[in-house]
Amino acid sequence: MRWRGGSALVGALLLSGVAACVAVPQTDDPVAPATRTPPAERLHFTAAGDYGSTAATSSVLTAVGASKPDLHLALGDLSYGRVGEEQQWCRFVTDRVGTDLPFQLLPGNHDSDGSNGNIADFAACLPNRLPGLVGDYPREYYVDVPSSAPLVRFVMISPALTFPDGTWSYAAGSSHLAWTSKAIESARSAGVPWVVVGMHKPCLTTGVHACDVGADLLDLLVSERVDLVLSGHEHLYERTAQLAEGPGCAGVTVGTFTPACVANSGRDLVAGAGTVFTTVGTGGVALRAPSSSDSEAPYFEAASGAGSNPTHGYVDVRATPSDLRVSFVRTEGGTFTDSFAITRSAAP
- DSSP assignment string, 306-319: TTB--EEEEEEEEE
Residue 247 to residue 211: CA distance in whole angstroms: 24
Residue 148, amino acid: S
Q: How far apart are CA 38 and CA 283, in angstroms?
A: 34
At residue 30 the predicted structure's pLDDT band, cuts being 50, 70 and 90, is: low
* Alpha-carbon separation of residue 132 from 161, 197, 302 (angstroms): 25, 17, 35
Mean pLDDT score, 14-20: 36
How distant is the alpha carbon of residue 93 from its chain centre?
A: 19
Its sign, for the CA torsion 43, 47, 53, 59, is negative
Quickly state the pLDDT bin for 40 (edges 50, 70, 90): confident
Best CA proximity match to 149, nearest among 56, 41, 226, 235: 41
Tell me the C-alpha distance between 180 and 30, whole Å: 9
Question: For residues 94 and 89, what is the distance between their CA atoms, to the nearest angstrom?
Answer: 9
pLDDT in tens, 89-128: 999 999 999 999 999 999 999 999 999 999 999 999 999 9
> Residue 300: beta bridge partners?
240
pLDDT of residue 34: 42
- Taking residues 317-340, report their average pLDDT: 97
Cβ(106)–Cβ(198) under 8 Å?
yes
Beta-carbon-side half-sphere exposure of residue 177 (alpha carbons within 13 Å): 21
Beta bridge mates, 243: 262, 275
Report the chain's mean pLDDT, rounded to a whole number: 91
φ/ψ region of 217 (left if φ > 0, alpha if ψ in -120 to 50, else beta) reads alpha
Tell me the fold of 43-343.
Purple Acid Phosphatase; chain A, domain 2 (3.60.21)
Spatial contact of 168 and 160, defined as CB atoms under 8 Å apart: yes
3-state DSSP assignment of residue 121: helix
What backbone torsions phi and psi does residue 335 show, to the nearest 5 degrees? -120, 15
**In terms of DSSP H, where are the helices of the chain?**
9-12, 55-67, 86-97, 109-112, 119-125, 175-189, 215-223
| CA 163 vs CA 13, 18, 113, 120, 168: distances in Å | 29, 25, 5, 10, 8
Range from 14-18, 50-54, 195-199 carrying the lowest mean pLDDT? 14-18
Q: Residue 38: its pLDDT value, please?
A: 81
d(CA 313, CA 290): 16
Residue 8's pLDDT is 40
